Amino acid sequence: MSGFMRGNVALMGKIAVLAMITAVLSLLTQHAFVQKEYAIGSFILFAILALNFTYLTKFSIPLKFFAPGILFFIAFVIAPIIFTLSMSTYHYQTGNILGKDESTAQVLALGAEPDGAGTTFDINIGETPSGEYAILVSDIANNKFFISTKDKRTEVPTSGLTLNADGVATAAPGFALISAEKLSANDAYSKVRYYFDGKYYIAIEGLNVGAVFQQSLSYDAASKSIKNVVTGAIYKDNGRGNWAKVGAPDEMLTPGWRAPVWFENYTKLLSDPQVRTPLIKVFIWTVIFAGMSVLTTFALGLLLALALNRKIRGRRIYRSILILPYAMPSVMSILIWAGMFDTEFGAINNILHTHIAWFSDANYARGAVLLVNLWLGFPYFYLICSGSLQAIPAELQEAAAIDGANPRQIFRKITLPLLLQILSPLLIASFAFNFNNFNLIYLLTGGGPRETLDGQIAGATDILISYTYQIAFGNNVQDFGLASAISVLIFVLVASISMYGLKKSKVMETFG
Amino acid sequence: MNNWVRENLWRHILAIAICLFSLFPLYLVVLSSLSTGGSLHLTSFVPTEISFNNFKYLFSSPKIPYLHWVQNSLVIASTVAISSVVIGAASAFAFSRLKFKGKRFGIRLLLLVQMFPAILALSAVYVIMERVYKFAPSIGLGSQAGLILVYLGGSMGVNIWLLKGFVDSIPAELDEAAKIDGASAVQTYWLIFIPLATPVLAVVCLLSFIGTFNEFILARLFLVEMNGRTVAVGLQQFIGGQYSQNWGPFAAGSILASIPIVIIFLSLQKYIVNGLTAGSVKG
Taking 90 as the threshold, does the pLDDT of residue B282 lie above it?
A: no
Q: Are residue A382 and residue A290 in the same domain, yes or no?
A: yes
User: Any idea what the Cα angle at residue A282 is, between residues A278 and A287, rounded to 5°?
Assistant: 150
Q: Are residue A480 and residue A353 in the same domain, yes or no?
A: yes
Question: Is A468 within 8 Å of B120 when comparing Cβ atoms?
Answer: yes
Taking 90 as the threshold, does the pLDDT of residue B36 lie above it?
A: no
Which residues, in sequence order, are CB contacts of B37 under 8 Å at separation 6+? B43, B248
**Most confidently predicted of B103-107, B162-166, B271-275:** B103-107
Q: How far apart are CA A479 and CA B33, in angstroms?
A: 41
Cis peptide before A157 (omega within 30 of 0): no
Specify the DSSP element, H or E, that contains B243.
helix B243-267
> Which of A44, A316, A335, A424 to mutate to test binding with chain B, by most B CBs within 10 Å of its CB?
A335
% chain B with pLDDT above 70: 89
- Residue B274 pLDDT grade (very low, low, confident, very high; cuts 50, 70, 90): low
**What are the distances in angstroms from CA A92 to CA A87, A108, A295, B118?**
7, 21, 39, 21
* pLDDT value at residue A17: 92
Would you give the DSSP letter of residue B116?
S
Q: Are residue A276 and residue A385 in the same domain, yes or no?
A: yes
Taking 90 as the threshold, does the pLDDT of residue B15 lie above it?
A: yes
Distance of CA A268 to the CA centre of its chain: 21
- Which backbone phi and psi does B137 adopt, to 5 degrees? -55, -25
B9, B13, B18, B23: CA torsion to nearest 10: 120
* pLDDT value at residue B279: 42
Q: Is B221 on the interface with A (CB under 8 A)?
A: yes
Residue A398 lies in a domain: yes
Cis peptide before B199 (omega within 30 of 0): no
> Which of A44, A65, A380 to mutate to test binding with chain B, by most B CBs within 10 Å of its CB?
A65
Q: Are residue A321 and residue A433 in the same domain, yes or no?
A: yes
Q: Taking residues B138-142, what's their average pLDDT?
A: 86
3-state SS, residue A163: strand
Q: Taking residues B203-223, what's their average pLDDT?
A: 87
Q: How far apart are CA B229 and CA B70, in angstroms?
A: 9
Choose the closest CB to B108 out of A65, A307, A511.
A511
Question: Is A5 within 8 Å of B90 when comparing Cβ atoms?
Answer: no
Specify the DSSP element, H or E, that contains B33.
helix B10-33
Q: Are residue A384 and residue A474 in the same domain, yes or no?
A: yes
Q: Which residues of A72-86 are buried (b: 16+ CB within 10 A; e: fewer)?
A: bbbbbbbbbbebbbe
Q: Are residue A228 and residue A211 in the same domain, yes or no?
A: no
- Residue B154 pLDDT grade (very low, low, confident, very high; cuts 50, 70, 90): confident
Q: Are residue A77 and residue A196 in the same domain, yes or no?
A: no
- Residue B45 pLDDT grade (very low, low, confident, very high; cuts 50, 70, 90): low
**What are the distances in angstroms from CA B149 to CA A39, B71, B76?**
18, 18, 10
**What are the distances in angstroms from CA B161 to CA A70, A385, A497, B88, B111?**
12, 24, 18, 9, 7
Which residues, in sequence order, are CB contacts of A490 under 8 Å at separation 6+? A435, A436, A464, A465, A468, B117, B120
Shortest distance between the Cα of A223 and any Cα of chain B, in A, equals: 32
* pLDDT value at residue A119: 85
- Residue B42 pLDDT grade (very low, low, confident, very high; cuts 50, 70, 90): low
Q: Are residue A223 and residue A200 in the same domain, yes or no?
A: no
Q: Is B189 on the interface with A (CB under 8 A)?
A: yes
Q: How far apart are CA A441 and CA A436, in angstroms?
A: 10
**What are the distances in angstroms from CA A3 to CA A8, A399, B176, B180, B193?**
9, 62, 20, 18, 18
Which residues, in sequence order, are CB contacts of A465 under 8 Å at separation 6+? A435, A436, A437, A438, A441, A490, B117, B119, B120
Residue A33 lies in a domain: yes
Report pLDDT digits (tens) over A273-284. 888 888 999 999
Taking 70 as the threshold, does the pLDDT of residue B273 lie above it?
A: no
Choose the closest CB to B94 out of A65, A326, A480.
A65
- A chain contacts of residue B220, beta-carbon cutoff 8 Å: none
Provide the residue type at A389 as one letter. L
* pLDDT value at residue B280: 41
Specify the DSSP element, H or E, that contains B16.
helix B10-33
Residue A174's domain is classified under what CATH number? Answer: 2.40.430.10
A141, A143, A147, A148: CA torsion to nearest 10: -30
Return the number of CB contacts < 8 Å for A and B. 302
Q: How far apart are CA A383 and CA A430, in angstroms?
A: 14
> How many structural domains comprise chain A?
4
Specify the DSSP element, H or E, that contains A170.
strand A169-171
Give the residue with greater pLDDT, A432 vs B16.
Answer: B16
Q: How far apart are CA B161 and CA A511, in angstroms?
A: 13
Question: Is A327 within 8 Å of B154 when comparing Cβ atoms?
Answer: no
Q: Are residue A179 and residue A190 in the same domain, yes or no?
A: yes
Q: Are residue A346 and residue A450 in the same domain, yes or no?
A: yes
Chain B (111-150) residues lying within 8 Å, Cβ to Cβ, of chain A: 111-113, 115-128, 131-132, 134-136, 149-150
Q: How far apart are CA A495 and CA A492, in angstroms?
A: 5
Alpha-carbon Rg for chain A, nearest whole angstrom, is 35
Q: Is B271 on the interface with A (CB under 8 A)?
A: no
Q: How far apart are CA A407 and CA A396, in angstroms?
A: 12
User: Any idea what the Cα angle at residue A9 is, between residues A8 and A13, rounded to 5°?
Assistant: 115
Domain boundary among A87, A121, A156: A87
Question: Is B273 within 8 Å of A387 when comparing Cβ atoms?
Answer: yes
Residue A265 lies in a domain: no
Q: Are residue A172 and residue A221 in the same domain, yes or no?
A: no
Domains of chain B by range and CATH? 2-57 (no CATH), 65-239 (1.10.3720.10)
Residue A94 lies in a domain: no
3-state per-residue secondary structure call for A374-442: HHHHHHHHHHHHHHHHHHCCHHHHHHHHHCCCCHHHHHHHHHHHHHHHHHHHHHHHHHHHHHCCHHHHH
How many other C-beta atoms lie within 10 A of the C-beta of residue A270?
10
* pLDDT value at residue B157: 80
Chain A residue with minimum CA distance to B266:
A327
Q: Which residues of B2-40 are buried (b: 16+ CB within 10 A; e: fewer)?
A: eeeeeeeeebeebbeebbebbebbbebbebbbbbeebbb
* pLDDT value at residue A294: 96
Residue numbers of chain A with a pLDDT score lower than 50: 1-2, 4, 508-512
Q: Are residue A446 and residue A481 in the same domain, yes or no?
A: yes
Parent domain of A200: 112-215
